Amino acid sequence: MPLDTAPAPLVDGFGRTVNYLRLSVTDRCDLRCTYCMAERMTFLPRRDVLSLEELARLSDLFIRHGARKLRITGGEPLVRRDIMDLFRDLSRHLATGALDELTLTTNGTLLARHAAALAACGVRRVNVSLDTLDADRYRAITRLGDIRMVLAGIDAALEAGLKVKLNAVASRGAFEGEVDDLIRFAHARGMDLTLIEEMPLGETGLDRNQSVLSLRDLERDLAARWTLSPLRRSTGGPARYVRVNETGGLIGLISPMSCNFCALCNRVRVSCTGQLYTCLGDDSAVDLRGPLRHSDTAALDALRAALMVKPERHAFDMSRMAGTAVPRHMSALGG
Ligand code: SAM
Ligand code: SF4
């Protein structure tokens, strides 16, 4: 290849350019959220998980071939030992301009410890998952969590100059009574709030038919109390945005079950074992770890072949669902 030719971008079989990688760095977590994990989880043996060097090599490969955005996720990314070494390594791509954005999704429990270092690595935005402001409810949802740690993490992130977005999984019942408080809390601090419709990933011991709340219903309910102005803004992802006139802040609505966003999909996900998932609603994966351990060229070939069979649209179907549509837990891959 001539030296001045940029490496070919990653394009799928439907002509969609893939420029966004969500990379899971661990399947482990310090919490056990009821919609995400079972109370007793068996985690992967460490030898199956990509090393930090392999995670960096894989990221480099994506970035060389046009990935402009990289989101680190998990499990809980901040529980991975030496994870800041990976952020420091990846930050050079921000410095060269090869990457537009390096970001992470976290439960926030360890954010107070790492916020300043993340900002120093060029991270500008973080998503923090928080479904309630009530300490007891937080403990019940997460089975293990102390909300004070998350609130301290959010404060530290804001102090470090990070833009924080809150993610909340919508559910029937108490959540519906708490969502207004979450809106006020987020918007008073300059944070957007994204409401996520629960997805049927993995057996968690929860009857999802009882818990799933349609965001269409929730939005209708919110519109009775707040003035919501729809925004025309696409991230290539599943979120729709509305502005809350009373607060000036934004609410994102992610409804993978009831809303078709697939035509704009620009992203793929890689698990911490190097399995490439080209669609969140499809459990078939392509192994990149084996090829990566052979060579970068082999990994790139496997990646390009997998993109050719990226589904045109996802296949969740609640009506056919007897509890769980996709057996893999959300924590295996990240949001
Ligand atoms: N541990 C980090 C966290 O909680 O932010 C990152 C990984 S977590 C799997 C990523 C996102 O997925 C979180 O916002 C979480 O609320 C969301 N999530 C987990 N299980 C889900 C499910 N079954 N349906 C929809 N969202 C889910
Ligand atoms: Fe852990 Fe995040 Fe899953 Fe909660 S949603 S159990 S914090 S990985």
Q: Say which residue, 255 or 80, is predicted with more confidence.
A: 80
| Tally of domains within the chain | 1
13 belongs to a structural domain: no
Work out the average pLDDT over 260-278: 85
Smallest CA-to-CA distance from 121 within 28, 29, 30, 56 is with: 56
| Host domain of residue 145 | 20-332
Banded model confidence at residue 214, pLDDT cuts 50, 70, 90: confident
244 belongs to a structural domain: yes
Distance from the alpha carbon of residue 193 to the mean position of ligand 2, in angstroms: 17
| Res. 259: pLDDT tops 50 | no
Collapse the DSSP code of 106 into the 3-class scheme (helix H, G, I; strand E, B; otherwise coil) and give the result.
strand
1 belongs to a structural domain: no
In single-letter form, the type of residue at position 36 comes to C
| Res. 319: pLDDT tops 50 | no
Distance CA 253, CA 239 (A): 5
In single-letter form, the type of residue at position 121 comes to C
Distance from the alpha carbon of residue 318 to the mean position of ligand 2, in angstroms: 22
In single-letter form, the type of residue at position 321 comes to M
Instruction: Provide the 10 A C-beta neighbour count for residue 187.
Output: 19
Which strand (E) or helix (H) includes residue 284?
none
Percentage of residues of the chain with pLDDT beyond 70: 88
Structure confidence at residue 11 (pLDDT)? 87
Smallest CA-to-CA distance from 299 within 90, 62, 53 is with: 62
Is any ligand 2 atom within 6 A of the Cβ of residue 32? Answer: yes
7 belongs to a structural domain: no
- Tell me what the pLDDT averaged over the chain comes to: 89
Smallest CA-to-CA distance from 302 within 26, 2, 45, 62 is with: 62
Distance from the alpha carbon of residue 294 to the mean position of ligand 1, in angstroms: 32
Ligand 1 probe mutation, 28, 78, 105, most atoms within 8 A of CB: 105
What order of strands is seen across the sheet that includes strand 125-129?
228-231, 239-244, 250-254, 192-197, 163-170, 125-129, 101-106, 69-73, 20-24, 267-270, 275-277, 286-287
Distance from the alpha carbon of residue 332 to the mean position of ligand 1, in angstroms: 10
Banded model confidence at residue 235, pLDDT cuts 50, 70, 90: low
Work out the average pLDDT over 233-250: 85
Is any ligand 1 atom within 6 A of the Cβ of residue 198? Answer: yes
CB 165 within 8 A of CB 127: yes
| Res. 321: pLDDT tops 50 | no
Work out the average pLDDT over 174-184: 95
11 belongs to a structural domain: no
6 belongs to a structural domain: no
Is any ligand 1 atom within 6 A of the Cβ of residue 74? Answer: yes
Distance CA 20, CA 39 (A): 32
Structure confidence at residue 279 (pLDDT)? 79
Which strand (E) or helix (H) includes residue 169?
strand 163-170
5 belongs to a structural domain: no
DSSP string, 1-46: --TTSPPPPPB-TTS-B--EEEEE--S--S---TTT--SS-PPPPG
Ligand 2 probe mutation, 107, 143, 167, 206, most atoms within 8 A of CB: 107
Residue 189, domain CATH? 3.20.20.70
Is any ligand 2 atom within 6 A of the Cβ of residue 76? Answer: yes
Structure confidence at residue 317 (pLDDT)? 52
